[in-house]
Structure 1
Amino acid sequence: MEQKNYDVILDTLPENESRLEVLFRQAGDGFLQVEYGREQRANLQDSFRIQAINDLVLAKNLNGLIETVPGIRTNMFHFDPAALSVRKLIGEIKEVEDSLTSIEDIVVESRLISLPIAWEDSETKKAVAKYVKEVRPGAPNVINGYNLEYMALCNGISVEEIKNKVLGTEWYNSGGGFWPGGGFFWPMDPRCAIVVPKYNPPRTWTPEGAVGIGGPCIFTYTTPTGGGYQLFGRTIPTFQFSQKHPLFKDSPFLYKSADRIRFFEVTEKDILDIFEHVHNKTDYQYEIKEDQILVKDYLNFYNSEEVQKGAKEFQEKQKEATKTAPRL
């Protein structure tokens, strides 16, 4: 019998002025992955478009569409194939894609969440010490018992400059992360786009609230777990399984897709006090502002001469730093 090749790409839409080529990729009997472009790239304008398309598709209230999982350049559609055929779903998405002719017209609903952060706190330092003792003695990413100096080496700047870049921009959530309640947060300002490799191998333990970075993405650890991001501090709870606190009444997760976070510096004692007021006293008031991203305004900022010049200068420093930073 003649063997036929199986192509996971079921359909495509051609590239145009406002988007890359759209690939409709089979991802299982009840899953369809919609992907922008055939090459990996991390560009927030792709995520802005994905969010807009996602909202328009959900507004159709399609019978059989269970949930969606938007990301930086993909969206996973989970559907019931007995109620909604994959061909009909593709057709509905195509219709919405064709209706969105300009990315500059997009307005993204985006909450702005202010999160306190304590640098080099004792709990994340314990996680690093445990790693060195039990997993990788002499790990090159651990300098003076922590990861901040390694992060600075990888980016060709000082530890203080690393902190300033973390505090100096809003971090945009392209979608749910690999752990319940997590998110992948990207810098809105490219001049703050620090990049570091992940642990090799990963840690076996990370405390709740730890803040780390892997590649260009920041992650706030929602529960005690393993992990591979370079650690630099700790923030407050962003997940509550018990849902005792009023903020978590409707969902145990703090983050939504397209949220932004902005960090501000506090002491470790402040962080521990807030943990008590979230998990036990349940009276802490999170600072969350309902807001929007006007994509046209953001693109004007991103493409401005000042921002692009600063981003390129930083990228040159990073390029040189990779030649001398310890490899993992």
Structure 2
Amino acid sequence: MAQSFCNVVLDTLPATGARLEVLFRQAGDGFLQVEYGREQRANLQDSFRTQVINDIILSKNLLGLIETVPGIRTNLFHFDPEELSMLNLIDLIKEAEESVKSIDDIVVESRLIHLPIAFEDGETKKAVEKYLKEVRPEAPNVINGYNLEYIAMCNGVTVDQVKNMLLGTDWYNSGGGFWPGGAFFWPMDPRCAIVVPKYNPPRTWTPEGAVGIGGPCVFTYTTPTGGGYQLFGRTIPTFQFSQKHPLFKSSPFLYKSADRIRFHEVTEAEILHIYEHVHDKTDYQYQIEEGRILVKDYLKFYNSEEVQRGALEFQAKQREGTRRAPRI
């Protein structure tokens, strides 16, 4: 006898010229997932819209709304159903959606966080060495003791070109996840859209501050943990459980949804010096600028002939690189 399943799509909003179809999915008792479109895609336009709608809902200070978890094309609303009904929440989100008539109207509040990074640092190299020794001695993603050459190979470019791409674009946070304080960062310039497979199997240890890439997303590791992203360097603390440093007094997490990070290269000695002045002396000054993303201006840049031509040229190199690179 065929098993029947409850339809978890509670309601929808039809697609318009400004957005994809909006699906309202039951995600458990006290959880509602809002999703853009029925097909998987990673497009920053969806995240920009998600963030603006999220801000509208949060500004209402709804009794019973516990938290929201925005992502690249979804938002998870956690609420107390005894104080806020699912149907009322859906109606409020629909109202917010209808208030945003055009993608050109969207302005996203977005801080710019400047992060120093040391490429091929000693701590992340120890993590790779430990992986070779204890997990997979012949891992094809480890070349000359590290992951950068494999990243370059998969993308059909050189190691220096990979570094230039990592430094050459702002990385946009579509939302937190995976690990406390973590964030998923996407390149705002499609000419820097590196893609690489993850470790198989994952590492058992990764140092605090390690920076890596898995699929199309950059991730900065907030604490020592396992992990599967290909490593390329180390940055400064983005999480502090003790909350001793002034920046972390209100929250142990550095990142907020819609933040952008911009890397600049420094020596490993500078990174270690900053760790001391964040966790011990607590007098390091983080470089954070308040700002906004004017979506109309961003799309003008993104869709420009120069950017699109460069992105297509890079994608051709990626296809060839992927063909040549060993499978993990």
Same fold (TM over 0.5): yes
1:263-282 alignment runs, 5 A limit:
263-282=263-282
Gaps of 5+ in 2: none
Q: CA deviation at 1:63?
A: 1.5
User: Is the partner of 2:285 in helix, strand or coil?
Assistant: coil
2:244 corresponds to: 244
User: 1:95-116 CA deviation, whole Å, 9 max, x = no partner?
Assistant: 1111111011111100000000
Report how far residue 5 of structure 1 moved. 3.5
Aligned residue number for residue 182 of structure 1? 182
Structure 1, residues 285-327: CA drift from partner, whole Å, max 9, x if none? 0000001100000000000000000000000110111111010
1:141 aligns with 2:141: yes
User: Which position in structure 1 is the counterpart of 2:64?
Assistant: 64
Q: Superposition RMSD on alpha carbons, in Å?
A: 1.2
In structure 1, what is the Cα distance between the partners aligned to 2:226 and 2:4? Answer: 42
Q: Which residue in the other structure is 1:42 paired with?
A: 42
Any idea what SS the aligned residue of 1:39 has?
A: coil
Structure 2 CA distance, aligned partners of 1:300 and 1:277?
41
1:122 corresponding residue in structure 2: 122
Aligned-pair identity in percent equals 80
Q: Equivalents in 2 of 1:23, 1:128: separation in Å?
A: 42
- Over 2 Å off, 4+ runs: 2-5
Which amino acid in 2 is paired with 1:240? Q
Per the TM alignment, residue 3 of structure 1 is displaced from its structure 2 partner at its CA by 7.5
Secondary structure of residue in 1 paired with 2:244? coil
Q: Kindly provide the CA deviation profile for residues 237-276 of structure 1, in whole angstroms up to 9, marking residues without a partner as x.
A: 0000000000000000000000000000000000000000
Q: Distance in 2 between matches of 1:231 and 1:3?
A: 44
In structure 1, the partner of 2:84 is 84
Letter in 1 for 2:173: N
Aligned residues: 328
Deviation sequence 1:199-257 (CA, Å, 0-9, x none): 00000000000000000100000000000000000000000000000000000000000
TM-score of the superposed pair, with normalisation by structure 1: 0.99
Question: Partner of 1:41: helix, strand, or coil?
Answer: coil
Partners of 2:250 and 2:163 lie apart in 1 by 34
Alpha-carbon separation, structure 2, partners of 1:3 and 1:154: 43
1:4 Cα shift?
Answer: 5.5
1:268 and 1:246 mapped to 2: Cα distance? 24
1:293 match: 293
- The answer to whether structure 1 residue 227 and structure 2 residue 227 are counterparts is yes
Distance 1:4 1:225, change over 3 A: closer
CA distance in 2, matches of 1:3, 1:202: 35
Q: Equivalent residue of 1:231, what SS?
A: strand
- With the length of structure 2 as denominator, give the TM-score of the two structures: 0.99
What amino acid maps onto 1:269 in structure 2? A
- Distance in 2, matches of 1:13 and 1:36, equals 10
Alpha-carbon shift at residue 30 of structure 1 (Å): 0.7
The residue identity in structure 2 corresponding to 1:270 is E
What is the DSSP-based 3-state SS (H/G/I as helix, E as strand, rest coil) of the residue aligned with 2:60? coil
3-state SS, counterpart of residue 128 of structure 2: helix
State the SS of the aligned residue for 2:114.
Answer: strand
The residue that corresponds to 1:14 in the other structure is 14
Write out per-residue CA displacement over residues 72-115 of structure 1, whole angstroms, 9 at most, x where no aligned residue: 00000000011111111111111111111101111110000000
- Counterpart for residue 323 of structure 1: 323
